[in-house]
Amino acid sequence: MRIGFIGAGSMVGAIARGAVAAGMDGSSFLFSDARGVSAPALAAEVGGTVASSNDTLAWQADLIVLGVKPQVQSAVIAEIRSTVKQRGQEVAVLSIAAGRSLESMSRDFGATVPLMRAMPNVNAQVGASVTALCPNDVVSDAQCEAARSVLETVGSVVDIEEKDFPIFTALAGCSPAWFFQMIDAFGRAGVKYGLKKAQSVEIAAAAMLGSAQLMLKAAAEGANPSTLIDQVTSPGGSTIAGLLAGEEAGLSTAIVRAVDAAVGHDHRLG
């Protein structure tokens, strides 16, 4: 299968590198980008080929990954629309642009073509993304599995209904920035008590990573976050003191409000 990437930004780069690292043949990858700079560099890195144009790529690829920004996606679709419609079921299109629904992309194509929508997150750069995947009704099982195979090289893939993309975007797409903010706050707290910022950040990040891994393991065994919280807290201890102080300051409410804001913003984009 030939995979064509239109756009060669950080997310496309993470996916292409992850796919090659997982054993996919980079020589089957095609790349194009608006400026003709990032695509050649990425193609050289993974052993792929640079397409002479987006339309040429659309003729040659079996799976087209639209890795361009949402605001320019319609213009890119216009360049490949005729070719994709002519090829019919031979080619599928996978969009990784936030806020672009399957319906809006179908309108841009002017026809029902095999379309999938995916939402990786920034952690794809370290092979730890959690990615949502949703196909339209004309995508074949083989095409969907091909897209899944590519996306799984940079993390896990979750099948969701398109109506759930706004909440998924908040929980998985936006949350890394909030986690980074929390780690930075822990870092400042460490500085307050005499540690260097870099050391404090490293400690907090490692603790967050370990906690996430433990949570996933426990969840697979039927546990929930409250179960683990109870394991860490002891009567009259520092952990429960910190938890209660955090709740008094509105920690849980702030997190839910952050999710509310992100979901509301995504709905406005749609």
| Bind-site residues for NADPH | 54
Would you list the DSSP string of 147-205? HHHHHGGGEEEEE--GGGHHHHIIIIIIHHHHHHHHHHHHHHHHHHTT--HHHHHHHHH
- β 3-6/63-66 pair status: parallel
Q: How far apart (Å, rounded) are the C-alpha atoms in residues 77 and 97?
A: 13
173: its two tokens: 């797409």
150: its two tokens: 């590519």
Q: How far apart (Å, rounded) are the C-alpha atoms in residues 55 and 41?
A: 20
| Bind-site residues for NADP(+) | 6-11
| Bind-site residues | 6-11, 54
Q: Is 50 helix (H, G, I), strand (E, B) or coil?
A: strand
Q: Enumerate the β-bridge partners of residue 4.
A: 30, 64
Would you list the DSSP string of 201-258? HHHHHHHHHHHHHHHHHHHHTT--HHHHHHHH--TT-HHHHHHHHHHHTTHHHHHHHH
Q: How far apart (Å, rounded) are the C-alpha atoms in residues 205 and 186?
A: 9
